[in-house]
């Protein structure tokens, strides 16, 4: 029986695969991707790489064959996720997979206004109804996403946000990958559990502004705006479509309303080491952050 990882050519999937190979023999691992050629380096190490396309259900049944544990990494296109995930879940059932873990988001409730919350909730519901053994790895917002925000704040002297006084425990992608790798390698007692994968502390916009100023030596002003103004400003500053900016604004609202305020010890409990802080992630990127003149 194999340990199967979907989305293996993405950032989270690739790093999870690398960490998994520190724990198990390559012959136990199957990496599933639409582009097997992108994972040739893993194949050279003895890992089996299989083609699997979430828009081609038959390919998924073949890709999941012989799976003992399967890590279902959420796909990234809003609006198609639920259909794709249901295909993957059905394929896991058809292939006789023993246990599936799904990487979702914290607080996937009906009240959560974050644009992705509904899709993650519906995927979790589909897994519960599938008859498969399941585990939910609910990842907090990536700390790495705050690097460009910090860079923009330093460049302009302003940190513009619609988060209000809300707080969230940003988590590093590295820690999410570490937990996923540990689960694939065999966390005992995880069946039927939802793990909140978070950073070590809840961070408010004021905390983040103070941290950016401290790390860069550049004063930064905290500017709080409403959702409409945030989306309009983001679209104007980046050139992105206003619809996308409005989508991103839903995360700030979710933080402001307390839907992404989960804080847990699951990273250290599952991996044996404490999670990286937002400070550590920003410090590692200081070379990319230039204080304003």
221: number of Cβ within 10 Å: 12
Predicted local distance difference test score (pLDDT) of residue 293 = 47
Instruction: Say if residue 98 is in the same domain as residue 161.
Output: no
Residue from 87, 267, 77 nearest 174 by CA: 267
pLDDT score, position 83: 95
Residue the block writes with tokens 């083609």: 51
What tens digit of pLDDT does each residue of 238-273 get? 999 999 999 999 999 999 999 999 999 999 999 999
In a domain, residue 178? The reply is: no
* Residue from 47, 98, 103 nearest 74 by CA: 103
Q: Answer yes or no: are the C-beta atoms of 75 and 54 closer than 8 Å.
A: yes
Rounded CA-CA distance 124/110 in Å is 13
**Residues whose CB is less than 8 angstroms from the CB of residue 80 and which lie 6 or more positions away in sequence, other chains included:** none
Which tens digit of pLDDT belongs to each residue from 92-113? 999 999 999 999 999 999 999 9
Within a domain: 124 = yes
Q: Average per-residue pLDDT in the chain?
A: 95
Question: Are residues 231 and 255 located together in one domain of the fold?
Answer: yes
Residue 152 is assigned to a structural domain of this protein:
yes
Q: Do 40 and 67 have their domain in common?
A: yes
Residue 174 lies in a domain: no
**33 and 115 together in one domain:** yes
Instruction: Name residue 289's beta-bridge partners.
Output: none
CATH code at position 249? 3.90.25.10
Beta strands in the chain (DSSP E): 2-5, 29-33, 48-51, 67-73, 99-105, 133-139, 158-161, 193-197, 221-224
pLDDT band (50, 70, 90) for residue 286: low
Q: Mean pLDDT across the stretch 153-177?
A: 97
Distance between CA atoms of residues 37 and 171, nearest Å: 30
pLDDT band, very low/low/confident/very high, at 285 (cuts 50, 70, 90): confident
Same domain, 82 and 163: no
Q: What is the pLDDT confidence band of residue 201, given thresholds at 50, 70 and 90?
A: very high
Domain extent, residue 46, equals: 2-139
Q: Both 159 and 77 in a single domain?
A: no
Mark whether 135 and 31 lie in a shared domain: yes
Encoded tokens for 73: 């990494």
| 77 confidence band (pLDDT: 50, 70, 90) | confident
Q: Is residue 130 part of a domain?
A: yes
More confident residue, 188 or 88: 88
Position with higher pLDDT, 236 vs 287: 236
Statement to judge: residues 69 and 163 lie in one domain: no
pLDDT reported for residue 287:
63
Same domain (yes/no): 101, 13: yes
| 91 neighbors 120 (Cβ within 8 angstroms) | no
Q: What percent of the chain has pLDDT over 90?
A: 93
If you average pLDDT over residues 150-156, what whole number do you get? 93
Query: Does 151 reside within a domain?
Result: yes
Residues 104, 236: one domain? no
Q: How far apart are the first and last CA of the chain?
A: 58
User: In the predicted model, what is the mean pLDDT of residues 80-88?
Assistant: 94
> What's the CA gap between 140 and 172, in Å, rounded?
9
Structural domain includes residue 134: yes
Tokens 């293996």 found at: 8
Q: Looking at the domain assignment, is residue 187 inside a domain?
A: no
Number of structural domains, the chain? 2
Burial of 77 (0-12, 13-18, 19+ CB in 10 A): exposed
* Nearest-10 Cα torsion for 276, 280, 285, 286: 180
Q: Write the CATH number for 23.
A: 3.40.50.720
Proportion of the chain in helix, strand, coil states, percent, rounded to 5: 50, 20, 35
Residues 56 and 151 in one domain: no
30-70 pLDDT, tens per residue?
Answer: 999 999 999 999 999 999 999 999 999 999 999 999 999 99
176-197 pLDDT, tens digit each: 999 999 999 998 889 999 999 9
Residues 9, 96: one domain?
A: yes
């Amino acid at each position: 029986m194999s340990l199967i990882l979907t989305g293996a050519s993405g950032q989270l999937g690739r790093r999870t695969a690398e960490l998994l190979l520190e724990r198990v023999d390559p012959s136990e691992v199957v990496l599933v991707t639409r582009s097997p050629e992108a994972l040739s380096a893993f194949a050279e190490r003895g890992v089996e790489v299989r083609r699997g396309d979430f828009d081609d259900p038959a390919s998924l049944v073949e890709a999941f064959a012989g799976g003992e544990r399967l890590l279902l990494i959420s796909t990234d296109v809003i609006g198609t996720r639920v259909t794709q995930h249901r295909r993957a879940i059905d394929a896991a059932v058809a292939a006789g997979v023993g246990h599936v873990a799904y990487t979702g988001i914290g607080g996937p409730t009906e009240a959560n206004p974050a644009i992705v919350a509904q899709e993650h909730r519906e995927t979790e519901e589909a897994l519960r109804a599938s008859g498969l053994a399941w585990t939910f790895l609910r990842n907090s917002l990536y700390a790495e996403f705050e690097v460009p925000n910090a860079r923009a704040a330093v460049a302009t002297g302003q940190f513009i946000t619609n988060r209000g006084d809300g707080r969230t425990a940003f988590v590093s992608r590295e820690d999410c990958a570490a937990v996923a790798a540990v689960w694939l390698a065999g966390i005992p007692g995880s069946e039927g559990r939802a793990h909140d994968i978070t950073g070590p502390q809840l961070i408010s916009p004021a905390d983040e502004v103070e941290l950016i100023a401290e790390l860069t030596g550049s004063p930064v002003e905290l500017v709080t705006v409403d959702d409409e103004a945030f989306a309009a400003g983001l679209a104007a500053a980046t050139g992105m479509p206003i619809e996308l900016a409005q989508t991103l604004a839903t995360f700030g609202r979710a933080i402001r309303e307390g839907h992404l305020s989960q804080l847990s010890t699951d990273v250290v409990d599952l991996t044996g080491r404490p999670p990286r802080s937002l400070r550590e992630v920003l410090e590692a990127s200081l070379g990319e952050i230039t204080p304003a003149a």
